[in-house]
Amino acid sequence: MDFTNKIVWITGASSGIGEALTYEFARQKAKLIIFSNQQKDLERVKKKCDEIGADCYIQFLDMMDIDNFQSITDKLVERYGQIDVLVNNAGISQRSLVKDTPLEVDRKIMEIDYFGTIALTKAVLPYMIKRNSGYIAVTSSISGKFGFPLRSAYSAAKHALHGFFETLRAEVFDHNIKVLIAFPGRVKTNISLHALTKEGKAHGKMDDGQNTGISVEKCARKYINAIKNDKKEVLIGSTELLMVYIHKFFPGLFYKLARKIKPT
């Protein structure tokens, strides 16, 4: 896929993987719509896109503000004529034990990571079907491949995304719409800083594993290459990705290793 003048909509574009994806698409001459609830950071990202020479439009909105997704999508399609690529990247993580986590925290994570993502996808999808063309990507996690301590709701939301987007891929094949599920492992972002605790507040700490993860730039390049090469799934990370294969082929060993994770 050549991204020149393609309309690319990226959620969660104000930091981390979404920000790095924005710059990589900008370098490949895409026309960008960037989406986040962090307005100052979005403006900073847009400024850098302007320096690169890319057409970049800011859409400030929260992923829980689902009721406004359709009207915003309609206005953006009116402005640009179409959405060629939707990258569902926004989300929030978790750092709390199941026994300590009140249901409202589980619900908030599901609302942001799952319902917000599928709501936006459903708003954009009819326009892609009408054109008989489009590409939809979603950022899951290796926690979407297996359960992991301290991430029960986050892992559940990512598993749910996997089921939804695999189903969507089968349903829209005849409409020439492609679907990619990306499974990042350890990527050096601030995701652990903003992860929700049992109190529903930001964790405020950088995980050791996160801090030694691959760069967001490397992650973005692998992510976009997967889109270009029409991959159905892509695992992105380093040695931690071995856990995906251990879980699949040696489940007993996986559960033994998972039990050794110490609560923080």
Amino acid at 248: K
The residues, any chain, with a CB within 8 Å of residue 204's CB and separated by 6 or more, are 193
Sign for the pseudo-dihedral over CA of 166, 141, 93, 42: negative
Provide the token pair at 186. Answer: 């350890």
- Tokens 């491949």 belong to 145
Q: Reduced to 3 states, what is the DSSP secondary structure of residue 168?
A: helix
Q: Is the separation of the CB atoms in 93 and 67 below 8 Å?
A: no
- Annotation says 154 is catalytic: yes
Amino acid at 52: I
What is the rounded CA–CA span in Å between residue 110 and residue 130?
A: 30
CA nearest neighbour of 145 among 237, 22, 12, 227? 237
What is the rounded CA–CA span in Å between residue 187 and residue 88?
A: 17
Give the active site residue among 127, 154, 245, 255. 154
- Tokens 């349903």 belong to 171
What is the set of active-site residues?
154
